[in-house]
Chains A and B, each alone.
Chain A
Amino acid sequence: MNLSNINWKQLSKTFAAPLVILLALALMPFYGWEYGVSLFSHFLIYIILTVSWVMFSGATGYISLATAAFYGIGIYSAALLHPATGFSLPLIAVIIVSAAASFLVAFIVGAITLRLKGIYFAMFTFGLVLLLFQVINYVETSILGQRGRFVALESNETIYYYLLGIFVVTMIVTFFIKNTKYGLALRSIGENEDAAAHSGVNVTMVKVLIFAVSAALMSTVGVVMATKTIYVDASTAFNPMMSFSPALMAIFGGMANLYGPAVGAVIFSYVQEILQTGNLNNYYMLIFGSILIATILYMPQGLMGLIQNLWNRLKGAKRALTRG
């Protein structure tokens, strides 16, 4: 291996900022801000969900509203395999099992439905959330006579580091997909699916595979979160808001680069957090809706797109000045 071939300058430019951010995040529990760990776990959940949503939907333009379904599969995996009493697998094993289960479900659902046109796919995926909720709720209460399930409690620090780990994996997977032929194939599907198919891309396979990978990542978040909320029933596991939020966060943040969805996720989850007093939550939803419409109408590239445009304009202005 010849080290001199590597463009160190380029490499440090690409990775310096992410590494610094990661280091700052990794030291979070040592700052002595006890609630901060919980708060940043909350951010990480939405960042991971949003980034994995963008991984598939952002590139292909297929709007998936199944996030809550996969998140719920994760929660139920934890409830079944990591319960408060009785036989319990280690958390890491539960995460792997849940990711595999979610991958499988998404693969099957994707294989069936990804030939559908945009709107139908969105409705179908949203229906999946409702179906899973109804069927699981029915089986749990009416057939098994269950009254909810309990998951073993983990410490906030454990939860935080697991989420951080999943976050890093998600980012690496996204980066990998973007910079390989899969990313190219996905984007060509998003631009013109027929043309992509004609130019030799196995359209269905690529779509289904990436959909399944993003679903697997979503479910791991569910597993970790279940160890925090402890009590699990179908209505807590399959909350439709978990489907809507990542989509909006991604659209607001902008899907052109890796940072956009993450920025959108942090902004929205923080706004949600500070509105947790009084009856302000209704205003949160009202703002949520208004920003969604405004973003679609006036900021099609999202917040990061807007910032980039402004930046480019500033740069352009500077150049113009020096020239003059």
Chain B
Amino acid sequence: MWKKVLKVTVPLTLCLVLVLSSFAFTSCGGGGTTATEILIGASRDITGPQAGFQTYGFAPLYKAWIEEVNAAGGIDVGGKKLPVRLIEYDDASDTAACVRNIEKLCTQDHVNFLFGPTGTAMLFAAAPIANKNKTILLCGEGGATTLEPQLANMPYVFAVLNYSNHYQIPVFCDLIEAKGAKTVYICFMNDLHGAEYNLTMQSECGLRGITVVQAKSIPINITDFDPIVNEAKDLNPDVFCMFAYPDQNIPFMFTAMALNFNPKCLLIGPGCNFGFFPLTFGAALEGVCGEGAWNAKSSAAAAAFAAKVEPLVGGAGSMDWWGADVYQATLEYLKQAIEKAGTLDTEAILEVYRTTHFVTLLGDTYWDIQGNGVGGGLLPKECYLGQIGQWQNGVFEVVDNDANNTAPFIYPKPAWPVQ
């Protein structure tokens, strides 16, 4: 009897899986070029470990922006309105696939612009290929000190997001130094992102005479934070920095709360800047800092954008109080640059990028061109709406010590609420 069942069920199940999957194939297909549209390509992590950024990162914003632009008839290119079309390929955070996708986008689909891939490491793979193919790449999530010297030779690459020494960590160190913090415990992810924040933090602390009592690297698949928290409790630092991703930051928060580890200042990110953090931790998040930062109080334009973006990204949990404003500004700048150039010719648009200030969500927006004015661009410090945020009464307040400030920096942070 079992033999009969075996003969029928297994092939049937396998066929079923195959048929169900093949349904999805029908929707695939590459793009061709016509002069009647503006093509934008992107190689994104749609199915891999960083797929979350498709819901709370750059992707929902550029998709909404394209919809909005097309609803208005497109972008005015030399008197003719052209619609925008997006070609998005999946790389699942595999560098080789990302490189192949970017090549395909440039040489086969002939896209006019590229949006950055997901995460800094992917950016490193994508930037040289985009540059080689002379296609403007607007980086989204990701940016790094390591990329800075290379930008001088990559005129087609524009990095928008702020990062460790550009200028989050210096701003943070100024804040804690002003409050008299003496010791810091650093816990960092052992990848490019973590290593870079760790090194920047160490050098900034060194400049200010703050002692780094421990700098410990953690692997991406870490689950047990008890050792880290117990050690930190023994060392009793004034400030604890957690340079890892949401996957690590959430369990770290739970552990710190359970073991009642409450340093005077807690910097967590990326992850702390996202809307799912207050949804997960509620009142316990009071006084916890994260990299970022912007909020509805930053400016009138920011308030309007904040109100608009929540339904766009699918609810309060997917709000990004670190990068959403600069991603949006990148898109607004792109539209104005195309309109000003009046052509889709890359060199002409590049010239606009190098020389022109536009008003965007961030206010006056322009590029700090590297390599003595012939390299790629970085967004200058004046353009950002903030560098360090702190959760206060459910708002990710900008606590920078400058004009961006929306609330005073709370130090020491309050105790964890009693559970």
Instruction: Determine whether A and B are in direct contact in the complex, meaning some CB atoms lie less than 8 angstroms apart.
Output: yes
Task: Identify the A interface with B (CB < 8 A).
Answer: 34-35, 38-39, 42, 134, 137-138, 140-142, 145-148, 150, 153, 156, 225, 228-231, 233, 235-236, 239, 241, 273-283, 286-287, 290-291, 293-294, 297-298
A236 to B122 alpha-carbon distance, docked (Å): 10
Of all A-B residue pairs in the complex, the 10 with the closest CB atoms, nearest first, are A231-B124, A141-B190, A281-B47, A34-B107, A283-B21, A35-B108, A142-B217, A236-B95, A141-B195, A229-B95
| A contact residues around B10 at 8 Å (CB) | 293, 297
Q: Is the CB of A290 within 8 A of B17?
A: yes
B133 vs chain A, min Cβ distance (A): 10
Answer yes or no: B94 CB below 8 A from chain A CBs: yes
| B contact residues around A146 at 8 Å (CB) | 195
Q: Is the CB of B125 within 8 A of A229?
A: yes
CB nearest neighbor in B for A138: B190
| A contact residues around B48 at 8 Å (CB) | 281
CB nearest neighbor in A for B43: A276
- 12 inter-chain pairs at a CB distance below 8 angstroms, sorted by A residue, are A35-B107, A140-B190, A147-B146, A225-B96, A231-B124, A275-B90, A276-B97, A277-B28, A280-B24, A281-B90, A283-B24, A291-B18
A285 vs chain B, min Cβ distance (A): 8
Q: Which of B25, B108, B217 is in CB contact (< 8 Å) with A138?
A: B217
A282 to B46 alpha-carbon distance, docked (Å): 9
Q: Is the CB of B24 within 8 A of A230?
A: no
Q: Which of B17, B25, B92, B217 is in CB contact (< 8 Å) with A286?
A: B17
Q: Is the CB of A276 within 8 A of B101?
A: yes
Q: Is the CB of A228 within 8 A of B96?
A: yes
| B contact residues around A279 at 8 Å (CB) | 46-47, 90
Q: Is the CB of A277 within 8 A of B89?
A: yes
| B contact residues around A241 at 8 Å (CB) | 94
A191 vs chain B, min Cβ distance (A): 28
CB nearest neighbor in A for B109: A35
Q: Is the CB of B219 within 8 A of A137?
A: yes
Q: Is the CB of B108 within 8 A of A278?
A: no
A236 to B117 alpha-carbon distance, docked (Å): 15
User: Count of A-B contacts with CB under 8 A?
Assistant: 131
Known: A278-B28, A280-B24. A141 touches B194 (CB 8 A): yes
CB nearest neighbor in A for B215: A142
A148 to B199 alpha-carbon distance, docked (Å): 14
A142 to B14 alpha-carbon distance, docked (Å): 46
Q: Is the CB of A233 within 8 A of B121?
A: yes
Q: Which of A141, A153, A274, A282 is in CB contact (< 8 Å) with B191?
A: A141
Q: Is the CB of A277 within 8 A of B90?
A: yes
| A contact residues around B29 at 8 Å (CB) | 277
Q: Which of A39, A142, A156 is in CB contact (< 8 Å) with B190?
A: A142
A212 to B158 alpha-carbon distance, docked (Å): 45
CB nearest neighbor in A for B188: A141
Q: Is the CB of A281 within 8 A of B46?
A: yes
| A contact residues around B103 at 8 Å (CB) | 35, 38, 156
A39 vs chain B, min Cβ distance (A): 8
B40 vs chain A, min Cβ distance (A): 15
Q: Is the CB of B195 within 8 A of A147?
A: yes
Q: Which of A39, A228, A280, A297 is in CB contact (< 8 Å) with B25?
A: A280
Chain B positions 88 through 127: 1 when the CB is less than 8 Å from some CB of chain A, otherwise 0 = 1111101111111101100110000000000001001100
Chain B interface, >50% SS class: helix
A231 to B121 alpha-carbon distance, docked (Å): 8
| B contact residues around A293 at 8 Å (CB) | 10, 14
Q: Is the CB of B125 within 8 A of A230?
A: yes
A281 to B90 alpha-carbon distance, docked (Å): 7
| B contact residues around A281 at 8 Å (CB) | 46-48, 90, 92
Q: Is the CB of B124 within 8 A of A230?
A: yes
| A contact residues around B220 at 8 Å (CB) | 235
Q: Is the CB of A42 within 8 A of B100?
A: yes
Q: Is the CB of A147 within 8 A of B91?
A: no
| B contact residues around A229 at 8 Å (CB) | 95-96, 98-99, 125
Known: A142-B190, A228-B96, A279-B90. A148 touches B124 (CB 8 A): yes
| B contact residues around A228 at 8 Å (CB) | 96, 99
CB nearest neighbor in B for A225: B96
B8 vs chain A, min Cβ distance (A): 13
Answer yes or no: B11 CB below 8 A from chain A CBs: yes
Q: Which of A137, A287, A294 is in CB contact (< 8 Å) with B11?
A: A294
A73 vs chain B, min Cβ distance (A): 16
| A contact residues around B99 at 8 Å (CB) | 228-230
Q: Which of A147, A156, A275, A298 is in CB contact (< 8 Å) with B192?
A: A147
Q: Is the CB of A134 within 8 A of B107?
A: no
* B 242-300 contacts with A by CB, 8 A: none
| A contact residues around B194 at 8 Å (CB) | 141
| B contact residues around A35 at 8 Å (CB) | 103-104, 107-108
Q: Is the CB of B191 within 8 A of A233?
A: yes
| B contact residues around A277 at 8 Å (CB) | 27-29, 88-90
B134 vs chain A, min Cβ distance (A): 13
Answer yes or no: B179 CB below 8 A from chain A CBs: no
Answer yes or no: B132 CB below 8 A from chain A CBs: yes
A42 to B104 alpha-carbon distance, docked (Å): 12
Q: Is the CB of B28 within 8 A of A275?
A: yes
Q: Is the CB of B95 within 8 A of A231?
A: yes
Answer yes or no: B128 CB below 8 A from chain A CBs: yes
CB nearest neighbor in B for A133: B219
A153 to B102 alpha-carbon distance, docked (Å): 15
CB nearest neighbor in A for B10: A297
| B contact residues around A287 at 8 Å (CB) | 17-18, 21
Answer yes or no: B337 CB below 8 A from chain A CBs: no
CB nearest neighbor in A for B23: A283
Answer yes or no: B196 CB below 8 A from chain A CBs: yes
CB nearest neighbor in B for A235: B191
| A contact residues around B146 at 8 Å (CB) | 147-148
